[in-house]
């Protein structure tokens, strides 16, 4: 097979085909306003006919930037994250930026590798969904002066832009909401222990209960990590997880996120429990905002004109334009989206245990 068939189309190839210099071709493909529109149109037509694809790496070496934003996430199967990524990508395109998504499913050390890989691609900025602390990798990014924003998390030890929801406020609101409905015995489905959102939400919940003199012993927790020893749970591990919901000695379930809460909803309904007539259920993230096919679920999430994605893009673009600007930490207020999976405590049901 002729090696020319595998040759990448270059600016020189376009130049030879249309009769303009390589410099003029380059300017036309960048829509240089100093060139006649007819010239730009002709060169672009030839480029399309030849199947020309811009070499982003080569262009970045000449210009010093790529207009490429790396998005690093290790739990992309979580629809809360994939929704934010989709919104960020759409918003960045409006400003001429494109996204390079580096994703795995909670693979050990993948985030550190992805951050290094993003550096090698000379990206203009990085959007990072940190699962662990990743302090060393983040410090490396900052040393290389690459604009970086953390999503839904912050790492207090690192000077880095971030945007997240007010998780403590969310936990406090969830606890107060259930207390006002008369609930005093709870099941809590926690998130990963190293997750700051988990720490803050739990603290908010427990502070609300403490103010109402509800003892800690009235909150039963499922140890998620004891059951799920690997990132991808097996059928047998899910069965073990299911059994931890029983016996039912609570009237309300608080889930760390909607994914866990939908599992709880399914488990309890299969055993004949009614929601919210027997057991109330409240959660975090409000996935139904964008996934309307999901069952109703009362959930806590941000409720501002500027979403997490809006805020992240705004902060990141400002940092790209002003590398010396001060670090910004945006904490968005939250509210309860009541979709009627919580209700007044059922006294007769509570008396049964």
Query: And the tokens for 146?
Result: 């690459």
Q: What is the DSSP string of 147-196?
A: -EEEES---TTS--EEEEE-HHHHHHHHHHHHHHTT---EEEE---TT-H
Strand order across the 334-337 sheet: 219-221, 186-189, 252-255, 280-284, 298-302, 334-337
Q: Residues 51, 57, 58, CA angle at the centre, nearest 5°?
A: 75
Structure-token pair, residue 42: 């002709």
The rounded distance, in Å, linking the Cα atoms of 237 and 225 is: 11
Domains by residue range for the chain, with CATH: 3-54 (1.10.260.40), 65-164+304-332 (3.40.50.2300), 167-303+336-350 (3.40.50.2300)
Q: What are the angstrom distances between the C-alpha of 82 and each of 73, 132, 151, 289, 337? A: 9, 18, 12, 13, 20
pLDDT for res 239: 64
Q: Which residues pair with 329 in a beta bridge?
A: 162
Spacing of C-alpha 69 from chain mean position: 15
pTM listed for this prediction: 0.81
Q: What is the pLDDT along the chain (353 residues), one digit of tens a residue?
A: 444 455 778 889 999 999 999 999 989 988 888 999 999 999 999 998 988 877 655 555 555 567 899 998 877 888 999 999 999 999 999 998 999 998 866 566 666 778 778 887 888 999 998 876 667 777 778 778 889 999 988 887 778 899 999 999 999 999 999 999 999 999 999 988 878 899 999 999 999 999 999 999 999 998 766 555 444 444 555 567 788 899 999 999 999 999 999 999 999 999 999 999 999 999 999 999 999 999 999 999 998 778 999 999 999 999 999 888 888 999 999 999 999 999 999 999 999 88
């Amino acid at each position: 097979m002729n090696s020319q068939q595998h040759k990448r189309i270059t600016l020189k190839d376009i130049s030879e085909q249309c009769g303009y210099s390589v410099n003029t071709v380059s300017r036309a493909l960048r829509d240089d306003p100093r060139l006649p529109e007819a010239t730009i149109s002709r060169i672009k037509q030839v480029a399309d006919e030849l199947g020309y694809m811009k070499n982003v790496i080569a262009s970045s070496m000449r210009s010093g930037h790529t207009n490429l934003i790396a998005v690093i996430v290790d739990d992309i199967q979580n629809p809360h994250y994939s929704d934010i990524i989709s919104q960020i990508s759409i918003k960045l395109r409006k400003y001429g930026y494109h996204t390079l998504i580096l994703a795995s499913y909670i693979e050990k050390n993948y985030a550190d590798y992805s951050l290094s890989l993003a550096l090698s691609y000379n990206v203009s900025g990085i959007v990072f969904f940190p699962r662990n602390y990743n302090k060393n990798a983040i410090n490396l990014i900052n040393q290389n002066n690459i604009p970086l924003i953390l999503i839904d998390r912050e790492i207090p030890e690192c000077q880095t832009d971030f945007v997240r929801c007010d998780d403590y406020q969310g936990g406090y609101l969830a606890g107060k909401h259930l207390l006002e409905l008369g609930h005093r015995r709870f099941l809590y489905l926690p998130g990963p222990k190293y997750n700051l959102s988990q720490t803050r939400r739990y603290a908010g919940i427990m502070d609300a209960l403490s103010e109402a003199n509800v003892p800690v012993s009235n909150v039963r927790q499922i140890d998620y990590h004891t059951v799920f020893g690997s990132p991808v749970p097996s059928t047998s591990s899910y069965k073990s997880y299911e059994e931890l919901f029983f016996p039912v000695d609570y009237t309300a379930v608080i889930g760390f996120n909607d994914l866990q809460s939908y599992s709880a909803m399914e488990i309890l309904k299969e055993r004949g429990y009614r929601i919210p007539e027997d057991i109330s259920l409240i959660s975090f993230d409000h996935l139904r905002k964008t996934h309307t096919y999901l069952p109703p679920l009362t959930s806590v999430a941000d409720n501002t004109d500027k979403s997490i994605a809006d805020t992240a893009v705004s902060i990141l673009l400002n940092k790209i334009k002003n590398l010396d600007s001060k670090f910004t930490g945006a904490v968005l207020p939250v509210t309860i989206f009541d979709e009627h999976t919580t209700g007044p405590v059922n006294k007769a049901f509570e008396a049964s245990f």
